[in-house]
Amino acid sequence: MTSLEDDIVSEVVSWAEVHKDTRALARQIHTKGTFKGIIAITRGGLIPAAIMARELGIKLIETVCVEAYRDDAAELSGSVNVMKEASMAGDGEDWLMIDDLVDTGTTAKAVREMMPKAFFVTLYAKPEGRPLVDSFVKEVAQETWVFFPWDTQLQYSKPIGTDKG
């Protein structure tokens, strides 16, 4: 018997892919000018921000802490809870803002309103959120759930062909 989880379209991103894709994003934007610093959108933007800081030689990293998903249900809550603003970044002028993924654009709209002049990038973009970012590396289908390495663990997976019934 199949379960709902079997019907989820998903993409599992490895640590190596996050590193490779962040470096590809750094190559895309390194000619855009000098940034005062990086604004990481927590939590997903923290690791890409660290890699980006290394690649672009940026020492100053600020965070904006927002939540649009409920941790217990992995679904959109419909609103954004701002837990911490990026106080040093002002309107975002000359700052690079980074997140792991733009999905429906709920979080992106909220941080864009806070810092409209920031150069906003994500590793991955879904069609609904793509217009809200200035640059990204890969587009994924709207219905795809992206699993990042910081949200998963390695474990055995039963072969599909063993489900007979």
List, by residue number, the catalytic residues.
99-100, 103
Nearest to 121 by CA among 102, 140, 142, 141: 102
**Alpha carbon distance 124, 137 (integer Å):** 6
Rounded (5°) CA angle 37-41-47: 80
Contact 118, 49 (CB under 8 A): no
Which stretches does DSSP call E strand in 5-112? 10-12, 37-42, 61-70, 75-84, 95-102
- Bridge partners of 120? 97
Residue located via tokens 């970044």: 89
Residues 6+ apart with CB under 8 A from 34: 94
